Amino acid sequence: MTLAVEVTQLSIYADEQCLVDRLSLQIRLGQPVTILGETGSGKSLLAHAIAGILPSGLRQEGHVTLFGRSQDALSQSELEAMWGKALAVLPQEPWLALNPIRAIDGQISEVGECVLQEPSTHSQGNAQRQLDRLGLGEDGNKIPAWLSGGMAQRAAYAAATYAGAPLLIADEPSKGLDEARRDQIGALLVQHAQCHALLTITHDIELARQIGGEIIVMRQGQILERGDAEQILNQPRSDYAKALIAAHPSQWPQATKHRQTTPVLSANALSHRRGGRLLFNQLDIQLHQGEIVGLSGDSGSGKSTLADILLGLLSPDSGKIANPLPRGQALKLYQDPPAAFAQHVSMGALLQDLIRLHKLDANQIPALMNQLNLAPALLQRPARAISGGELQRFALLRALLMKPRFLVADEPTSRLDPITAAQITQLLVKYAREHDAALLFISHERTALERICDRIISL
């Protein structure tokens, strides 16, 4: 089978720091290769190195051979001539990779006109056929802002592959997509891989499982293990691969159901509209002490809006909360941990503010920090100098100080790497139960909700 890419002993350095350490791999037509690892571990740099678009300031060692031609021997213009025709890149952020002010059909068909020198009517026909095949037949005249993330990803796929490159590099293709849309793009890649060479870079083990072929597990630029997809995903050898696989919601233990006790909050007949669209109508919700309730739905379906109404931040169009909780008893954990803290002071100062306001006992902080595995030195730092996982634990600590009766967690782990995300979720569930708080857990990951929640509300 034809060898598309051969990478030998590739290392990438930023100054003295090694971002990718002596990586070798071969990609052949019909045999997909997947690099699996956490975000920010240097995986994407590999894609850039193969395409020859490594940002200036990074140093590359080792060899990359594309279709039998060594990258070192290629001039810049010869390398650029391979883009589109020999190698295609599926971008990480499809929304940003498409020109924001042009309809997508033109952005696909122009590849035919400019690269393959086809007559424009011919390219337009081809582009339309591609769009039809990808389920975007009606959407060709739309600009990216009018497409969903999944639609934009498919449009970008059509544009990237139009010129017929035998090699496709897909960089985090499932980023930001929910399970159903991830499966869609996965299916597309599987189909593409049948007669093309495919290199996928992802942190998503379900996508890796779907694509199959060879998997290389990487962390901080180091290869931890590599082998056949089946074998790696079912019998991982490295600790990291084990942790990564165990962190996936499908591997979580099923929580024991909580029996319903005293109600904390009841809302009757809630209805709300946004931009003329009815989000929910005549919704009754009751939350009990120690109960964990999941809230799922597509983006824009009103999950956060409902939570804000329950928290008393927003008045519903109709309906009401029967027993609104006093301020400080209904709290929220946010999706983007650094955004939830004042930026210009240290965590210690913020906690002091809270202690002074509510006359809390400051002595409980060291013990809680210890339980949540937070180093005392972190108190000196401002939020943006603390990692997302630690910050989310700080958010939990801040909430626990108040002994809240109702806690909303709004996608609290979607910006965290899978292993940290699993840890945070487990901690949240544990403390909500221990403190008898009602926890409303918002997520677009249905599997995760099914594992941890007593019941799920779908919008």
Shortest distance, CB of residue 183 to another protein, whole angstroms? Answer: 24
Per DSSP, the three-state class of 456 is strand
Of 5, 97, 197, 369, the one binding another protein by CB under 8 A = 97
Q: Is there binding between residue 110 and another protein (CB under 8 A)?
A: yes
Of 111, 233, 369, 374, the one binding another protein by CB under 8 A = 111
Q: Are 373 and 393 in contact (CB under 8 A)?
A: yes
Q: Is there binding between residue 415 and another protein (CB under 8 A)?
A: no
Number of residues in contact with another protein, rule: CB under 8 A?
57
Tokens (6 digits) for 30: 């019909």
Q: What is the chain's Cα-based Rg? A: 25
CA distances from 149 to 75, 274, 406 (A): 36, 21, 33
Closest alpha carbon to 197 in 183, 207, 211, 187:
211
Which region, left, alpha or beta, applies to residue 229 given φ > 0 means left and ψ of -120 to 50 means alpha?
alpha
Span 241-300, contacts to another protein by CB under 8 A: none
Cα gap 354→350, rounded to integer Å: 7
Q: Is there binding between residue 129 and another protein (CB under 8 A)?
A: no
Q: Is there binding between residue 361 and another protein (CB under 8 A)?
A: no
Residues in Cβ contact with 158 at an 8 Å cutoff, skipping those fewer than 6 apart: 108, 127, 130, 131, 134, 136
- 249 or 302: CB nearest another protein: 302
Within 13 Å and on the Cβ side, how many CA atoms surround 301?
A: 12
Closest alpha carbon to 443 in 424, 183, 397:
424
* Interface map 133-152 toward another protein (x if CB under 8 A): -----x-xxxx-xx------
Q: Are 437 and 404 in contact (CB under 8 A)?
A: yes
Residues in Cβ contact with 148 at an 8 Å cutoff, skipping those fewer than 6 apart: 181
Q: Where are the alpha helices (H) located in 278-436, listed in sequence order?
A: 303-311, 347-358, 364-371, 388-401, 418-434
- 79 or 243: CB nearest another protein: 79
How close are the terminal C-alpha atoms of the chain, in Å?
49
- 114 or 269: CB nearest another protein: 114
Of 345, 373, 376, 430, the one binding another protein by CB under 8 A = 345
* Interface map 45-64 toward another protein (x if CB under 8 A): ------x-x-----------
Shortest distance, CB of residue 137 to another protein, whole angstroms? Answer: 8
Q: Is there binding between residue 103 and another protein (CB under 8 A)?
A: yes
Q: Is there binding between residue 91 and another protein (CB under 8 A)?
A: yes
Shortest distance, CB of residue 406 to another protein, whole angstroms? Answer: 10
Shortest distance, CB of residue 231 to another protein, whole angstroms? Answer: 33
Shortest distance, CB of residue 83 to another protein, whole angstroms? Answer: 5
Q: Is there binding between residue 83 and another protein (CB under 8 A)?
A: yes
**Chain contacts with another protein (rule: CB under 8 A):** 51, 53, 80, 83-85, 88-89, 91, 93, 96-103, 110-111, 114-115, 138, 140-143, 145-146, 156, 159-160, 162-163, 311, 313, 327-328, 330-332, 334-336, 339-345, 353-354, 357-358, 398, 402
